[in-house]
Amino acid sequence: SPQGRSKKKSRKHQRFMERRALLEQKGLLSPRGRLGSRTPEAGLEALTALAKANGTAAPCCDKVPKPKRVVSASLSPSASPDSIARHHSVLLSQGNGSSKRVRTSSLVLRPGKYVAIDCEMVGTGPQGRLSELARCSVVNYEGDVIYDKYVQPELPIVDYRTRWSGITKQHMKNAIPFKAAQAEILKILKDKIVVGHAIHNDFQALKYFHPKDRTRDTSQIPVLKKRAGLPVRANVSLKNLARHLLHKKIQVGCKGHSSVEDAQTAMELYRLVEVQWEKELAHSLPPRPPSPITDPTADSSQYLDDQYWPTDLMASGL
């Protein structure tokens, strides 16, 4: 009768809830009310564990709604430079050449991976011929300042080079030691694609070498020189590129350069030709080496991780 079936169903539901409470206590299931926040895969694992503990068969996989497969427009934070460049190329090949796709491609490629840097140097050593770091500025993809500090060189300053550097004796009163600044700056540059103009000079002042495939030097981009109507092989200054392409004046006046302004300008120039430049880089990248053949004798300690243990073994061990 319907009444008998409802009683049977009620007892079965009661046993189900008791087992569920026990599994929640053991940590095999999240507390009630939170299952909705789980991923589909985690939810399926929880239902499977619950069904096994309750002595019933696990739900059939084909009844679980599968998430729609959507090709993500963004890359993971750990994306390598070559995958970023190739992603640029894929976007261009998929698009219809519309200006909207070109404008939004920069946002698609995780702008948090990009920074621009500029350093100002002073003269130390015999007759001030050695160049040492005295100020460093770093900006993000949007041009916002994320680092700007004056740095005390390791050797006594002989020439402040104020006409070009903008550095004066007054600035050195609050300057931090070179080693401290170096550690802070390198932490920012780690795993980033770094933009700059004649950027090798900045890296030299930092006593640092940044991977070539993660470096974008605006003084070495033929695309920018062509766009400005300048000879491709000519050494073009940041000031001239800014005047021709961005229609703005920088490095003017007698107070010297601003490393913040120069870093922001380098990033603006990069963004101006970003898609085309990255596409060319993608085509020039060497083919990836084949995946190494798995050695049966290789270290197998990784398989001791929990993820490789059978579900029923883990449940019985708790």
Between residues 89 and 12, the one the model is more confident about:
12
Residue 189: enclosing H or E segment and its boundaries?
Answer: helix 178-189
Q: Which of 144-158, 181-195, 223-237, 242-256 has the lowest mean pLDDT?
A: 242-256
DSSP 8-state symbol, 298: S
Q: What is the pLDDT of residue 263?
A: 95
How many CB atoms are closer than 10 A to CB 227? 16
Question: In this structure, are residues 84 and 278 in contact, taking their beta carbons and an 8 Å threshold?
Answer: yes
| CA-based nearest residue to 197, from 248, 243, 241 | 241
5 vs 204, residue with greater confidence: 204
Q: Is the dihedral of CA 298, 303, 305, 308 positive or negative?
A: positive
Find the angle CA(143)-CA(151)-CA(258) to the nearest 5 degrees.
Answer: 40
Per DSSP, helices labelled H in 95-137 are 99-108
Q: 3-state DSSP call for residue 76?
A: coil
Angle value at C-alpha 254, between 238 and 231, nearest 5 degrees: 20
Residue given tokens 């795993």 in the structure block = 191
Residue 300, token pair as written in the block: 């197998």
Which single residue is written with the structure tokens 């084909």?
62
Residue-level pLDDT at 110: 66
- Condensed to tens digits (0 to 9), the pLDDT of residues 27-47 reads 666 665 444 444 444 555 555
Radius of gyration, alpha carbons of the chain:
30
Contact by Cβ (8 Å): 248, 242 = yes
CA 297 to chain centroid? 35
Whether the pLDDT of residue 281 is over 50: the answer is yes
Residue 80 scores a pLDDT above 50: yes
- Dist. CA 236–CA 250, nearest whole Å: 14
**pLDDT for 132-147, tens place per residue?**
999 999 999 999 999 9
Percent of residues, the chain, with pLDDT higher than 70: 59
Structure tokens, 45:
């694992």
pLDDT value at residue 185: 97
Domains of the chain: 114-284 (3.30.420.10)
Query: Quick one: how far is CA 246 from the chain centroid?
Result: 26
Residues 130 and 123 sit within 8 Å (Cβ to Cβ): yes
Q: By the 8 A CB rule, do 161 and 167 touch?
A: yes
Q: Residue 230, SS3? A: coil
Helix (H, G, I), strand (E, B) or coil at 152: strand
Distance between CA atoms of residues 167 and 276, nearest Å? 37
CA dist 262 and 242 (Å) reads 10
Q: Other C-beta atoms within 10 Å of 71: how many?
A: 6
Q: Give the residue with greater pLDDT, 243 vs 287.
A: 243
The secondary structure of residue 286, as a DSSP letter, is P
